[in-house]
Amino acid sequence: MEDYLNSKGLCHVCRQETTTIHAEIGPGQQVYVCEKCLETAKLNFIWICAHCGSVYIRPKSLVIKRLTDPGLKKAYQACEDLQIIQGIDMCAECDAEGIVECVAAAKGAQNRGHC
């Protein structure tokens, strides 16, 4: 376990940099994320599709602006200053609505943790 945490791996988001930084994208799911991509995560929501491994990066302001549901909008706005990288079961190609629900659910999960 220790070895794993100290090991280097290819950044899951850009697949260009090797890094020792991990991000939790879901319960028990850890991926490598380089500093550059963590920086990207400050201004963008990043989703990683658990199904096909596709990575989706969307500007937070744009995502929030497009939301019409006030509850979801609030949840997203609360996440605006966080660096969020999330695992999703399905990518936007499969189910764009699913992504929105996924973020809302993840926000609820974070409330139980350090957020």
Binding residue (CB under 5 A) for Zn ion from 91, 100, 102, 106? 91
Which residues, listed in sequence order, are joined to residue 24 by a DSSP beta bridge?
Answer: 30
Contact with Zn ion (CB under 5 A) among 8, 29, 42, 52: 52
The dihedral over CA atoms of 91, 92, 96, 101, expressed in degrees to the nearest 10, equals: 40
Residues 48, 49, 63, 106: which binds Zn ion (CB under 5 A)?
A: 49
Q: Who contacts 83 (Cβ-Cβ below 8 Å, separation ≥6)?
A: 23, 38, 41, 42
How far apart CA 83 and CA 60 sit, in angstroms, is 11
How many residues at the interface with Zn ion, by CB under 5 A?
11
Which stretch, 44-52, 67-75, 77-85, 101-109, contacts Zn ion (CB under 5 A)? 44-52
Q: State yes or no: residue 84 binds Zn ion (CB under 5 A).
A: no
> Is 51 among the residues that bind Zn ion (CB under 5 A)?
yes
Contact between 34 and Zn ion per CB under 5 A: yes
State the Cα angle at 112 between 51 and 42, rounded to 5°.
60
> Which residues of the shown chain bind Zn ion in the complex (CB under 5 A)?
11, 13-14, 17, 34, 37, 49, 51-52, 54, 91
